[in-house]
Chains A and B, each alone.
Chain A
Amino acid sequence: MISFELTKDQKALQKRLHSIALDKIRPYSLEIDAGRPGKIDKRFLEIIAQENLNAFIIPEEYGGMPLKWVTLSIVMEELGFGCAGFAGIYAQTLHAVSTILIGGSTIQKKTFLPLLLNPSGAVASFCLTEEKGGSDVSSFSTTAQLGEKGYYRLNGSKTPIINAGDAEFYVVWANTGTGRKGLAEINAFIIPRDTPGMGYGGLHDKPGLRVAPTATIFLEDLKIPSSNLVGPSGSGYLLFTQTIDRGRALVGSICVGLARAATELAIEFAKERHVRGRPIASNQGIGFTLAELATELEAARLLVWKACRRMDKHMDYTALSSMAKLFASELAVRATSQGMLILGQKGCKRPSLMDKLLRDAQMSRIIEGTSQVQKMIIATQL
């Protein structure tokens, strides 16, 4: 039997995170969004530390708490409600951790995961995409050559990378062969911060998710021991797909939070704004739109929960995870577009929360694979 009700603990967690999202994350994020691109705001790192957010993604034996994907989806939705960019910073850490949890050795887990429980706040970074081929691993130009005494030398660049320059460690994908053996030559490596040979480009200026700093990382003859290779040699492709398959459902959660923020804002405005003595919410044109958004919001959340529940049960989740991301990110765009229409000129005056939500929603359709990519994945599973 599937329960649609949250447990007492989950409800308490949801309530706590909702307050943080509303009182701390959102006010800071509106300010950061309006400014020039910068490193991760220290206040965000403080929130991560004070609320012990990284403990949700690190298993108990490494200092965290029992990892439950449904519970994590509740965390992500509230963070997405506060600010999708902040949630993006957190999701990036999750991806790096997830890769290590899937394929990493016990030593790697013991060495790197506790770094994220630093009382000053810490993040990690997942470095997959490249300028030319995006996340198409078969066209990676970043190389890792096995050299003297069990060391690899990495050369190349990765872009766009969230948390570049701020992370405690980076999980970087590279081609360890000549390209002849295809996917069997793709591998992932853990690179600690400040490793000689790693450099960062200028921060990118982007339309949405502006609070999540994005830059290029450069690897120049970067020397890393083979003990930092994640999983058996040649397993990089499988590590990447499994990590991203999990991550998509949680990006879906962020989008549910974002869509909820836009819908709630639109409902509040439509009830307060009076025209000819009546709230505009009582006009069918507006009321029906809000009804549709509220319905789709429930559907999107249930899709996310179902995908996460399958992860918790160790069942196949590829298609559902993509469905959750596809549906929720498209809903985020619809909710913010309709929200903008309902708010009218009030939504256009910067700084405006609806304007930020709209720009963040557009970006949410792109990250973790565009909507077309999600459809391609779902189609292969039918």
Chain B
Amino acid sequence: MKSYELIGQKLQKAREELGMSQKDLARRLGCSQASLSNYELGKRRLYLSDLHRISKILNKPITYFLESPGENAEENTRDKDDLHNFLKQQFMREIMLEAKDLTPMQRRSVLDYIKWQKSRLSGDMA
């Protein structure tokens, strides 16, 4: 994988982990959503000052975006195990059972609500 594609993928992953949309991050960076999308696709090169700001917003060290994919393999496996255990918890089962009868649009609303809650936690709405 080309270097800037790797950096872009890491950027997308870190952004999604915080439940932040491209639009929100682009606004905070002062760039267009199209530019941010190009960063994430590796079609536009991120300069040091940009990545420095991104690392602060997304709360990751600069090295996170530059590490080889192999270096995170163990972390990825751990992430998957954590997710599996999380989904087995009782309240998650309840949420899934309740959501089962919802229409796709209602499910979308639930997802949007969760993302809104997360963005409040990350201070994005401040």
Contacts and interface: CB of A to CB of B under 8 A. Distances in A.
Interface residues of B, number: 24
Taking each of A232, A235, A238, A318, which has the highest tally of chain B beta carbons within 10 Å of its own beta carbon? Answer: A238
Contacts of B6: 183
Contact of B45 (A181, A231, A245, A382): A245
Contact of B2 (A102, A231, A238, A380): A380
A238 B68 contact: no
Contacts, number: 66
A2 to B, nearest CB: 21
B44 A318 contact: yes
Taking each of B3, B42, B51, B61, which has the highest tally of chain A beta carbons within 10 Å of its own beta carbon? Answer: B3
B68 A182 contact: yes
Contact of B66 (A183, A242, A380): A183
A103 B49 CA distance: 8
Contacts of B116: none
Interface of B: 2-4, 6, 35, 42-49, 51-52, 61-64, 66-68, 70-71
Contact of B48 (A182, A183, A238, A380): A238
Interface string A226-262: 0000011111011101100100000000000000000
A347 B35 CA distance: 50
Contact of B63 (A181, A241, A242): A181
A275 B67 CA distance: 66
Contacts of A241: 45
A97 to B, nearest CB: 15
Contacts of B63: 181, 184, 233-234
A234 B62 contact: yes
Nearest to A242: B47
A181 B74 CA distance: 13
A239 to B, nearest CB: 6
A316 to B, nearest CB: 6
A232 B71 CA distance: 20
Contact of A231 (B48, B64, B71): B48
Q: Tell me what chain A mostly uses at the interface: helix, strand, loop, or mixed.
A: helix
A381 interface: yes
Q: Tell me what chain B mostly uses at the interface: helix, strand, loop, or mixed.
A: helix
Interface of A: 102-103, 180-184, 186, 231-235, 237-239, 241-242, 245, 316, 318, 380-382
Contacts of A235: 48, 62
17 contacts: A103-B48, A180-B68, A182-B67, A182-B71, A183-B68, A184-B64, A184-B66, A184-B68, A232-B62, A233-B63, A234-B61, A234-B66, A235-B62, A241-B45, A380-B2, A380-B42, A382-B43
B120 to A, nearest CB: 30
Contacts of B51: 238
Given A182-B67, A184-B68, A380-B2, 11 more contacts: A180-B71, A183-B67, A183-B68, A184-B66, A232-B52, A233-B63, A237-B66, A242-B47, A242-B48, A318-B45, A381-B43
Contact of A102 (B4, B42, B48): B48
A242 B46 CA distance: 9
Of all A-B residue pairs in the complex, the 10 with the closest CB atoms, nearest first, are A182-B68, A234-B63, A184-B66, A184-B63, A183-B66, A238-B48, A184-B67, A318-B45, A181-B67, A242-B47
Given A181-B71, A184-B67, A238 B46 contact: yes
Taking each of B42, B52, B68, which has the highest tally of chain A beta carbons within 10 Å of its own beta carbon? Answer: B68
A181 B46 contact: no
A231 B66 CA distance: 14
A381 B61 contact: no
A233 B52 CA distance: 12
Given A180-B71, A182-B71, A183-B3, A316 B44 contact: yes
Contacts of B49: 102
